[in-house]
């Protein structure tokens, strides 16, 4: 990877335009989860400590190029100030003169970049205007790196640029997981539908040594092999596609792992009467993988050096159908703590599942990015990252 970090830049007396992702959830007008705010604090603190003025660029919600008062970043200022422990100046209509007039150690938050239709269009004029507001561009928003927007891609070509602390940590972790990983590599891919992860599966069978398929996706593969899935969620129309993926995996030397025992129920609800079976009855639905599957996966983890995880193994939001996800995650966490495994996980459901399992804190790296993490796993170039590397 050919990108610079904060340590490669001289911020003293300069204004740094820092693209961050503080698109945080709100309840009753207040920030309900400040995780994303806390994640960008190291970058802000380090630039300030190096003598730079910080101008934060960010989006909030999906206003679709219009001014939507409820999506103003003004609402985030109190939580940002509390997290930073200092004043944040909010500027609705930014101008270089107004920014220059503020103290050298000021932290400034500019209004929602997506209030302008020029942002998602990556309009060169907007990129040029944003670049005029500062001297150095810092991208600390990996979660928006898959968007070729004016504030994530266009501006990076116009100023000296670098990755912020969060972005650098993310890129380093991803490079260790798929770029130049320690082998063997195992990927866990779960979720409801194969159709939503076709590109992901197609890329991974060429990149990893073991591919674990779980969740509703596994049902489609089981059905494609002629195994009964009862009333389970299953994309029967993708049976041929599933067989093609299995064929590509075999040709590439990638071993596919599917459930060898199943937890089934007749109702999709928490604590529904359930049983562990080897074959799904016609009137039942598969809601989780069984203990023999978890034991087999644990052995796979022990034999590998690198793990990439995206998606749960079962209906993790319903007890007790979170058991396989919890047990497999705990096994991966234990191996990571022991120094035997590099583990990287990402995606919204994945983070939620690993947090429920109490395993997230012991993984090597947890990415909070959704779309960007998935596109990276699919092998797609990320415009926000490419722009940093190009400079």
Annotated binding site for ATP: 197, 317, 347-350
67/41 Cα distance (integer angstroms): 27
346 is catalytic: no
* Active-site option among 65, 202, 370, 371: 371
Residue 57 pairs with which residues in a beta bridge? 19
3-class DSSP state for residue 301?
A: helix
List the binding residues. 21-23, 36, 59-62, 114, 147, 197, 317, 347-350
List the binding residues for substrate. 21-23, 36, 59-62, 114, 147
* Active-site option among 19, 36, 53, 165: 36
Find the distance separating the first CA and the last CA of the chain, reported in whole Å.
Answer: 12
76 closest CA partner among 142, 151, 24: 24
193 is catalytic: yes
93 is catalytic: no
230/197 Cα distance (integer angstroms): 23
List the binding residues for (2R)-3-phosphoglycerate. 36, 114, 147
Reported as half-sphere exposure (CB side, CA atoms, 13 A), residue 279 has a value of 6
* Active-site option among 193, 227, 266, 391: 193
52 is catalytic: no
* Active-site option among 65, 348, 370, 379: 348
188/194 Cα distance (integer angstroms): 13
Q: Alpha helices, DSSP H only, in the chain?
A: 35-49, 77-84, 96-100, 124-131, 165-174, 198-207, 215-224, 239-252, 291-303, 323-337, 348-356, 371-377, 383-390
Instruction: Report the catalytic residues.
Output: 36, 193, 348, 371
């Amino acid at each position: 990877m050919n990108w610079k970090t904060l340590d490669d830049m001289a911020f003293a007396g300069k204004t740094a335009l820092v693209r961050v992702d503080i698109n945080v959830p709100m309840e009753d007008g207040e920030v309900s989860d400040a995780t994303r705010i806390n994640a960008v604090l190291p970058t802000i603190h380090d630039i300030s400590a190096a003598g730079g003025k910080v101008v934060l660029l960010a989006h909030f919600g999906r206003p679709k190029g219009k001014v939507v008062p409820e999506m103003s970043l003004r609402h985030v200022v109190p939580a940002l100030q509390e997290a930073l422990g200092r004043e944040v100046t909010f500027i609705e209509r930014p101008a270089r003169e107004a920014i220059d007039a503020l103290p050298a150690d000021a932290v400034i938050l500019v209004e929602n970049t997506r209030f302008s239709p020029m942002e998602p269009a990556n309009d060169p004029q907007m990129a040029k205007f944003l670049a005029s507001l500062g001297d150095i561009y810092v991208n600390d928003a990996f979660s928006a790196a898959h968007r070729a927007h004016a504030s994530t891609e266009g501006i990076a070509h116009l100023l000296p640029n670098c990755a912020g602390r969060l972005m650098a940590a993310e890129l380093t972790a991803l490079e260790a997981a798929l770029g130049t990983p320690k082998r063997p590599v195992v990927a866990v891919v779960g979720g409801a539908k194969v159709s939503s992860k076709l590109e992901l599966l197609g890329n991974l069978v060429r990149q990893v040594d073991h591919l674990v398929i779980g969740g509703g996706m596994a049902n489609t593969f089981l059905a494609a092999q002629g195994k009964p899935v009862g009333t389970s969620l299953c994309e029967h129309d993708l049976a041929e596609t599933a067989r093609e993926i299995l064929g590509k995996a075999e040709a590439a030397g990638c071993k596919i792992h599917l459930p060898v025992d199943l937890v089934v129920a007749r109702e999709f609800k928490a604590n529904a009467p359930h049983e562990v079976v080897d074959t799904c009855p016609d009137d039942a639905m598969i809601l989780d993988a069984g203990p023999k599957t978890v034991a087999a996966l644990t052995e796979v983890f022990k034999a590998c050096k690198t793990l990439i995880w995206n998606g749960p193994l079962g209906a993790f939001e319903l007890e007790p159908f979170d058991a396989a996800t919890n047990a497999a995650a705990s096994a991966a966490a234990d191996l990571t703590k022991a120094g035997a495994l590099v583990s990287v996980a990402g995606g919204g459901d994945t983070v939620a599942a690993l947090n429920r399992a109490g395993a997230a804190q012991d993984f090597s790296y947890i990415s909070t990015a959704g779309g960007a993490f998935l596109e990276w796993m699919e092998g797609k170039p990320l415009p926000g990252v490419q722009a940093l590397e190009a400079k």
